[in-house]
Structure 1
Amino acid sequence: MNRAVTVIYNYCVIAIVLLGVSNITHAQTKPISLAGNKVASLIDGPESPALAIDIVKAVFKSQDVTVQATTQAWLGSGLRSGKYIGFIDHYSLNEPKNGYVYSKPYLQLNLHIAGREANVVNITRLDKIYRQRLGVENRFANTDMLRTERSVSWARSPSFISNIQQLAEQRVRYIIADKYMLDEFNKLLIANGEAPLYLSGASIYSPSLSVALRNDADNANTLIEQFDANLSAMKESGEYSKLVSLASEQPSVLDEALYAEIIRKW
């Protein structure tokens, strides 16, 4: 009788364990709905280049992941309603928010000062252009770190192209922007016979991007752990480097038609 009870008990334990594994697997294979603020060539629609989205999907590998390029207002609304379980553009220039679990950084953005004058290469700190107007995108200007910076007078713009427009119209002498985007714009200038922008010899800020999941989302911690492990494996195998280097080897990912008027008046 005792043996029969033991056998039944063991079967029950096995069944409970298998049920638990089944639930975890189900949680991990459920569609993962993420979003990010739209940034040309970084987080964009399905028909446009989007490096950050490409990296996130590659790192999640076999997971069913969708990433919606949206606006700050719609992103916040979607997170509150549960439409999205997280976002892919947490900038390290911001403090982490309560209620989220964060991945390790998956992409570093190097912010350089740019301008038409050769002296730009010697600008290594903001205090070297003390109190001058400096063009910047809102995605950086609205961060915790830049909001407290008083060395320069920020000339804010909603997008990279608007920031470039400020420089083209000489409303600012310098701008600060992601080097990846500046390199892409310089490709357009060179292709149209124009001299490229000068960039500061060193980055002024080097923020990174991380994925953030709501900590009440199904299996959020496990998903982040998997993401971090996959990211490390991709970097060790060289897969990550290949994915990132593709962007530098191709023609500009910026829409030349959108920049045509700027370049015409350059």
Structure 2
Amino acid sequence: MERNLLGTRISHGIKYLLFIIMGWLCFSISTLKASTLGAANFETYVSDDGEPARINALLEDIFQHADLDVTLLVMRDAFLGSAVLTGKIDGEFAYINLGEDSDQFLLSRVYLPVTLYAVSKDPQVSNVKLFPHLKGSRVAIENRFANTPHFRSLKDIKFSRNPTTFDAFKQLADDRAPYLITTELLAREFNIMLANDNEETLHFSAKPLVKTGLQLAISKKVSNATQLIERFNNTVENMQNIGKFNLPLNLAWLSKDINGDGVADYIGHSSITRSSDDIESAFSIDHTPTSEASLFVIDGISYSSLSEAQAALPEGAPLAGRESMLDKTTYQQLLRRW
């Protein structure tokens, strides 16, 4: 009898202790202090002037789903590093690591890949698979990429550095550089603009020359950096798998291995994907190839065939016919020179 009573008391004691621990954890997670993160302007990705900005839209959704109080600031690139060092901001929200020292940061997992291709008016660019294939060539590139350890180490390429995305594309339009190094998504947006203007579109290198990605970079001085990163990573994983990335990214189809079988699956969402959208345009968010074994996931529900997935989607004009996220008024002069 005494043993049973003692066992009961111990059991209740353990339950009470667990209750206290869980309550403390829940309290600590739900009361993460507000954070301020910065990034430099990056056309179609990051902006604060009303222009389309995929990353602003995406992160606002992520932070809302994660119940994180985060303010996003867009600032000049020259001030970004010093703002983190002096504690004016807690870190960066569109951090791209191309060989820089990141020891002062806690980094999230990559939430959106940045794949850099060589693109050109000349279809022969499809023969380019490695940087040495561009040896001796003049190649336009933005400073955000050129001024990094990775690209500074490439000595045999004549890089034509440019302060903005527009200036880099202008080098190509004016035939001052036969090649341009840019992101897959930026090249896609420029091709949408060209196609809508009945112009020949850009050609891509055979494969990406650089694979990196966008991450949160939180200063290690921030007391709740670890909890913020963990909650961010978990929210990103869930949102990617159920198609919550498609709308803010303005992409009909994404692809990712969602079940760990080594094969990427196609991810769509009824908020933006239409039954007529071409799955060949799917943007990979984990670099995993698709195959005949790929599933089709719509609003978090998996289908084994494309026809089943299409039946679950609204009808309508494909997203491929939309306007480019690049400003047509700004880029009109490039189209006239094409």
Length, aligned pairs only: 253
Q: Distance in 2 between matches of 1:187 and 1:122?
A: 23
Name the structure 1 match of 2:37: 34
- Backbone CA RMSD of aligned residues: 2.5
1:96-245 → structure 2 map (5 Å cutoff):
96-241=101-246, 243-244=248-249
Name the structure 1 match of 2:288: none
- Whether the aligned pair in 2 keeps the contact of 1:126 and 1:151 (CA below 8 Å) is no
Amino acid at match of 2:165: F
* Pairing partner for 1:44 from 47, 57, 63: 47
Q: Distance in 1 between matches of 2:28 and 2:211?
A: 40
> Offset of 1:193 from its aligned partner?
1.9
Q: SS in structure 2 opposite 1:88?
A: strand
- Whether the aligned pair in 1 keeps the contact of 2:46 and 2:74 (CA below 8 Å) is yes
> Offset of 1:52 from its aligned partner?
1.8
- Whether the aligned pair in 1 keeps the contact of 2:54 and 2:250 (CA below 8 Å) is no
> Offset of 1:166 from its aligned partner?
0.8
Amino acid at match of 1:129: L
Q: Distance in 1 between matches of 2:129 and 2:102?
A: 31
Q: Distance in 1 between matches of 2:22 and 2:202?
A: 61
Q: Distance in 2 between matches of 1:24 and 1:123?
A: 48
Name the structure 2 match of 1:94: 99
> Offset of 1:92 from its aligned partner?
3.0
- 5+ residue gaps, structure 1, are 1-10
Q: SS in structure 2 opposite 1:175?
A: strand
Name the structure 1 match of 2:9: none
Q: Distance in 2 between matches of 1:109 and 1:143?
A: 15
Q: SS in structure 1 opposite 2:211?
A: coil
Q: Distance in 2 between matches of 1:159 and 1:150?
A: 22
Amino acid at match of 1:205: V
Q: Distance in 2 between matches of 1:265 and 1:254?
A: 17
> Offset of 1:151 from its aligned partner?
3.4
Q: Distance in 2 between matches of 1:49 and 1:24?
A: 32
* 1:253 is the counterpart of 2:253: no
Name the structure 2 match of 1:8: none
Q: Distance in 1 between matches of 2:201 and 2:241?
A: 34
> Offset of 1:226 from its aligned partner?
0.7
Name the structure 1 match of 2:87: 82
Amino acid at match of 1:179: E
> Offset of 1:206 from its aligned partner?
1.4
Q: Distance in 2 between matches of 1:94 and 1:113?
A: 19
Q: SS in structure 2 opposite 1:239?
A: coil
> Offset of 1:117 from its aligned partner?
1.1
Q: Looking at both structures, which has the greater relative contact order when contacts are Cα pairs under 8 Å and sequence separation is at least 6?
A: 1
Between Structure 1 and Structure 2, the one with more helix by share is 1
Q: Distance in 2 between matches of 1:113 and 1:127?
A: 12
Q: Distance in 1 between matches of 2:25 and 2:198?
A: 63
Amino acid at match of 1:237: I
- Whether the aligned pair in 1 keeps the contact of 2:29 and 2:227 (CA below 8 Å) is no
Q: Distance in 2 between matches of 1:21 and 1:260?
A: 53
Query: Deviation digits for residues 148-193 of structure 1, max 9, x if unmatched?
Result: 1123111111111101111112211111111110110111112122
Q: SS in structure 1 opposite 2:214?
A: strand
> Offset of 1:140 from its aligned partner?
0.9
* Pairing partner for 1:55 from 54, 58, 77: 58
Q: Distance in 2 between matches of 1:20 and 1:189?
A: 53
- 5+ residue gaps, structure 2, are 1-15, 253-280, 282-318
TM-score, normalised to structure 1, is 0.86
Name the structure 1 match of 2:335: 263
- Whether the aligned pair in 2 keeps the contact of 1:24 and 1:219 (CA below 8 Å) is no
